[in-house]
């Protein structure tokens, strides 16, 4: 029994969220009793302290046998996530805490966000959460009838009153575990995505047993550095120049020591001249080395960035559609742009800077011991205390820094959303509302920036004060030694300068650690993308199709985007070569899924699809899709010319072939009416053209490909009647002699099909011609009559 009937609404991020009813929120007696019972039977309870508004508020995330629920400190239900709607659970770690993110059928939802003190508890709990996700939902009444020690896969028994909640054991991963979770029918089709990290429970999209975060960090660093291997000459040159840079940074101070000693010790003019010349030479050569390092860094960084982005983009294009279904486009953009930039900065600047700081500190420390060993031991006294203070303070700084970063993201989101929806804002006269929303986000950012600044400005002077105090101690002890003749004035001056150089890298060490943390996060996201395996890979011996007759045969095909809910069920269908088949049925019947399987965007969970007797899984995907032409409802045009968009599927197309294809599609006339004809720039997503014009260009693109199989998915759904007539005429010319599968919202447009297939709840309900199906007065008849009534009401 769930917490209660809820209401589905669109949350602020545009995804469906299940919200409790008012009775549940208020905690009425009946709802409160049910809630207490659910909590008593809970699997797991975890604390969190950052709410959806990114404000500090304590609450609990509770996992029961049917759902995950958010409970506030007063014990009231705030949000719930039915277990059956959750496909994946991921723990995302940040600098100052983390978040538990649910990937549901309706998109990505954040179940809980928390600060650093809670992070370890979530890490430990991830295997249990993974087990909870894979445990089947309890069957009503099954508990009473099930024998003791029932088969594996049954829900855990409810704990006795007063007993601690029974937590599930860590699940076994791999083929056996996946088969148990999915059932025998799905085991053969279980992809690598069904596996999870054996440490934290995060779902894996590659064949390893651990996610990258739980893997050896040394291996991660090696993998990052491997990108520099093709450019090792530039990297070695940069390393050599780094050593020279450190040397030239240390030498001037020592020359200054000799210069001062020359003044105070009655040295000669020639010695003075040579010291000045030496200092000038060192500064001159040092500047040259610095410039050389900059030029090499630019070349190294540019090439490195190109390589990493190329590999990341290549990896994206190799992934199957199911991977994209589970993620937002912005994630891929961020990985290709932002995360690759982080890696490039680390390899070209951050790593070199960190290494230079370490080498500089070691070199300076050696010179300090050389100049005055007893004094050096004295100035090392505060270093452990400074390090302790830094590591004690660093978690608080990270929390504030993370809060500030989240506020910046929130401000950016408000700006981006307002600009994207500016037409709606103005249409509903909601400018003042958006101003207020931005002001609230901006005020929160300003407050957090001030809090961060206050903390840093109250601590940084203390560190500087400690360093200054020991600097004065050096001058006192060193000055005393100079007066007693144990140390020269030049040595004391050089020692004080080296001391500043020694504490400088220590102060910058925190920033270097922060950079390394960021880089590790970026590397994990990029390598996860590169390691992801496609659900529809080509076999090594895949057949290369050079032509096709066009016979398509479905044999016992079963498929579901969610493996627990099939969209197509035991489908048997044969489409003859050159036959035009229309797919008809209510929304969600499986029409679009069927054509997705024909294009092999997905592989069936059971059964097979054959083209001319060959299983699609045995055909190379590139050669398969070269035999299929697709015209979709939402035509996508690339930012370029009309000619480039028509020739997109055929690089070698001549201007004559492009024009001929446009004529067949009925597009040549309107194209010639444009000022620049075929060289007209269509703009991003073709926004400079009307819907009908874009659709005819899409038809011309399919004509030019000259495919044996044609798929039409609602090709005329978004155009007016006159444009639809022109597109229908173009399609009539296109389908001649081709195996065609068509989906249309207006059933009248499918009257010319050789056969209509009526799908209902994933199965074939009826098949026949328009007249045959209409006379039978079944599902097709009801759909036609429903559209007639709708048309008549619109006309009336």
CA 438 to chain centre: 26
Q: What is the DSSP string of 490-539?
A: HHHHHHHHHHHHHHHHHHHHHHHHHHHHHHHHHHHHHHHHHHPPPSSPPP
Handedness of CA 359, 361, 365, 367 (dihedral sign): positive
Q: With 50 as the cut, is the pLDDT of residue 163 above it?
A: no
Q: Give 669-700 pLDDT, tens digit per residue.
A: 888 888 888 888 887 777 778 777 887 888 88
164 pLDDT tier (thresholds 50, 70, 90): very low
Contact 47, 36 (CB under 8 A): no
Cβ distance 657 to 704 under 8 Å?
yes
Domain 217-531 fold: ABC transporter transmembrane region fold (1.20.1560)
The whole-angstrom distance between residue 565's C-alpha and the CA centroid of its chain comes to 26
pLDDT at 122 > cutoff 70: yes
Instruction: Give residue 333's pLDDT.
Output: 66
Mean pLDDT of the chain: 73
Name the pairing type of β-strands 56-63 and 86-93: unpaired
- Two structure tokens written together for 626: 């070269």
All residues at 6 or more sequence positions from 696 whose CB lies less than 8 Å from its CB, including other chains: 662, 665, 666, 667, 670, 726, 727, 730
Q: Give residue 112's pLDDT band: very low, low, confident or very high (50, 70, 90).
A: very high
* Residues contacting residue 364 through CB under 8 Å, at least 6 positions apart: 250, 498, 501, 502
Return the higher-pLDDT residue of 523 and 190. 523
Q: What is the pLDDT of residue 216?
A: 58
Query: Residue 791's pLDDT band (boundaries 50, 70, 90)?
Result: low
Share of the chain above pLDDT 90, in %: 1
Alpha carbons 521 and 515: distance in angstroms, whole number: 10
CA–CA distances in Å: residue 549 to residues 357, 545, 579, 618, 620 = 68, 11, 11, 17, 17
Which CA distances in Å does 631 have to 413, 574, 689, 781?
34, 22, 17, 27
Domain 552-794 top-level CATH class: alpha beta
- The most confident of the ranges 31-45, 302-316, 760-774 is 760-774
pLDDT of residue 417: 75
Task: Tell me: pLDDT of 754 over 80.
Answer: yes
Mapped onto helix, strand or coil, the DSSP state of residue 583 is strand
pLDDT of residue 335: 64
User: DSSP letter at 203?
Assistant: B
DSSP state of 690: -
CA distances from 69 to 77, 137, 562 (A): 7, 16, 22
Does residue 717 have a pLDDT over 50?
Answer: yes
Query: How confident is the model over 225-274, as pLDDT tens digits?
Result: 777 778 878 878 877 888 888 888 788 888 887 878 777 766 677 777 88
Residues with Cβ within 8 Å of residue 471, at least 6 apart in sequence: 496, 499, 500
What pLDDT is attached to residue 586?
A: 81
User: Given this model, what pLDDT does residue 729 score?
Assistant: 75
Tens of pLDDT, residue by residue over 284-342, are: 888 888 888 878 877 877 787 788 778 778 777 777 676 666 555 555 666 676 677 77
Mean pLDDT to the nearest integer, 640-668: 82
Region(s) of the chain under CATH 1.20.1560.10: 217-531
**Angle in degrees, CA 295, 297, 303, rounded to 5:** 110
Tell me the C-alpha distance between 716 and 658, whole Å.
Answer: 22
Neighbouring residues of 498: CB distance < 8 A, sequence distance ≥ 6:
250, 253, 364, 367, 368, 371
Strand, helix or coil at 102?
A: strand
Q: What is the pLDDT of residue 143?
A: 38
β partners of residue 203? 196
Q: Flag whether pLDDT at 24 surpasses 50.
A: no
Provide the pairing of β-strand 107-115 with 97-104: antiparallel
Looking at the chain, which residues constitute the CATH 3.40.50.300 domain(s)?
Answer: 552-794
For CATH 2.30.29.30, the residue range(s) in the chain are: 30-134
Is pLDDT of 75 > 70?
yes
CATH architecture classification, 30-134: Roll (2.30)
For the cut 60, the answer to whether the pLDDT of residue 420 exceeds it is yes
Q: What is the pLDDT of residue 422?
A: 83
Task: Compute the average pLDDT of residues 97-105.
Answer: 81
- For position 184, what pLDDT does the model report? 30
Rounded to an integer, what distance in angstroms lies between the CA atom of residue 490 and that of residue 472? 17
CA 467 to chain centre: 44
170-225 pLDDT per residue, tens: 222 232 333 233 233 333 333 333 455 555 545 554 445 555 555 556 677 777 77
């Amino acid at each position: 029994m769930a917490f209660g009937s809820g209401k589905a609404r669109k949350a602020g991020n545009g995804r469906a969220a299940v919200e409790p009813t008012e009775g549940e929120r208020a905690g009425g007696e009946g709802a409160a009793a049910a809630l207490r019972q659910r909590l008593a039977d809970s699997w797991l309870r975890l604390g969190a302290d950052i709410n959806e508004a990114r404000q500090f508020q304590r609450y609990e995330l509770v996992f029961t046998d049917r759902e995950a629920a958010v409970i506030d400190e007063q014990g009231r239900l705030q949000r719930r996530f039915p277990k059956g709607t959750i496909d994946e659970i991921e723990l995302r770690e940040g600098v100052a805490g983390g978040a538990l993110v649910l990937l549901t059928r309706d998109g990505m939802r954040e179940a809980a966000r928390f600060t650093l003190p809670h992070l370890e508890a979530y890490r430990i709990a991830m295997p249990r959460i993974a087990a909870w996700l894979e445990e089947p939902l309890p069957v009503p009444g099954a508990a009473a009838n099930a024998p003791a020690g029932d088969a594996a896969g049954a829900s855990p028994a409810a704990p006795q009153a007063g007993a601690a909640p029974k937590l599930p054991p860590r699940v076994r991963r791999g083929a056996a575990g996946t088969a148990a979770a999915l059932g025998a029918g799905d085991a053969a089709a279980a992809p690598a995505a069904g596996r999870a990290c054996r440490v934290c429970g995060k779902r894996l999209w590659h064949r390893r047993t651990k996610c990258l975060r739980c893997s050896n960090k040394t291996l991660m660093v090696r993998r990052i550095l491997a990108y520099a291997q093709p450019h090792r000459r530039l990297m070695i040159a940069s390393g050599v120049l780094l050593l020279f840079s450190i040397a030239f940074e240390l030498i001037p101070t020592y020359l200054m020591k000799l210069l001062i000693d020359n003044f105070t010790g009655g040295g000669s003019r020639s010695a003075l001249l040579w010291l000045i010349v030496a200092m000038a030479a060192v500064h001159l050569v040092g500047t040259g080395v610095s410039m050389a390092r900059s030029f090499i860094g630019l070349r190294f960084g540019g090439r490195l960035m190109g390589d990493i982005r190329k590999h990341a983009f290549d990896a994206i294009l190799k992934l199957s559609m199911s991977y994209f279904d589970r993620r937002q486009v912005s994630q891929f953009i961020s990985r290709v742009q932002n995360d690759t930039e982080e890696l490039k900065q680390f390899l070209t600047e951050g790593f070199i800077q960190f290494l230079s700081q370490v080498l500089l500190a070691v070199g300076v420390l050696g010179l300090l011991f050389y100049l005055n060993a007893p004094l050096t031991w004295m100035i090392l006294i505060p270093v452990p205390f400074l390090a302790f203070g830094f590591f004690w303070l660093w978690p608080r700084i990270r929390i504030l820094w993370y809060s500030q970063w989240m506020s910046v993201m929130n401000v950016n989101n408000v700006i981006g959303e307002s600009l994207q929806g500016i037409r709606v804002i103005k249409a509903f006269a909601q400018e003042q509302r958006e101003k207020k929303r931005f002001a609230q986000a901006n005020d929160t950012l300003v407050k957090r920036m001030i809090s961060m600044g206050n903390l840093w400005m109250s601590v940084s002077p203390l560190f500087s004060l400690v360093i200054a105090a020991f600097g004065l101690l050096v001058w006192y002890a060193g000055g005393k030694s100079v007066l007693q003749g144990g140390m020269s004035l030049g040595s004391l001056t050089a020692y004080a300068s080296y001391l500043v150089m020694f504490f400088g890298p220590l102060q910058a060490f925190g920033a270097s650690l922060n950079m390394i943390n960021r880089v590790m996060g970026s590397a994990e996201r990029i390598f996860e993308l590169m390691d992801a395996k496609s659900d529809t890979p080509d076999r090594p011996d895949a057949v290369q199709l050079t032509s096709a007759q066009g016979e398509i045969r479905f044999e016992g095909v079963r498929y579901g985007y969610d493996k627990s809910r099939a969209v197509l069920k035991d489908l048997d269908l044969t489409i003859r070569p050159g036959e035009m088949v229309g797919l008809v049925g209510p929304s969600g019947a499986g029409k679009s899924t069927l054509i997705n399987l024909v294009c092999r965007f997905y592989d069936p969970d059971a059964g097979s699809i054959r083209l001319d007797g060959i299983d699609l899984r045995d055909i190379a995907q590139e050669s398969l899709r070269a035999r299929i032409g697709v015209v979709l409802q939402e035509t996508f045009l690339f930012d370029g010319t009309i000619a480039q968009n028509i020739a997109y599927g055929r690089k070698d197309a001549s201007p004559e072939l492009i024009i001929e294809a446009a004529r067949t599609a009925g597009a040549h006339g309107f194209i010639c009416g444009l000022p620049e004809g075929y060289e007209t720039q269509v703009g991003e997503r073709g926004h400079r053209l009307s819907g009908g014009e874009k659709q005819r260009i899409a038809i011309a693109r399919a004509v030019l490909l000259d495919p044996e199989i044609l798929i039409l998915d609602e090709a005329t759904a978004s155009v007016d009647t006159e444009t639809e007539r022109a597109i229908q005429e173009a399609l009539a010319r296109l389908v001649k002699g081709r195996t065609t599968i068509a989906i249309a919202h207006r059933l009248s447009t499918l009257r010319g099909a050789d056969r209509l297939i009526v799908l209902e709840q994933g199965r074939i309900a009826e098949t026949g011609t328009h007249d045959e199906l209409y006379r039978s007065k079944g599902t097709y008849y009801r759909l036609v009559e429903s559209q007639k009534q709708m048309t008549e009401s619109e006309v009336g």
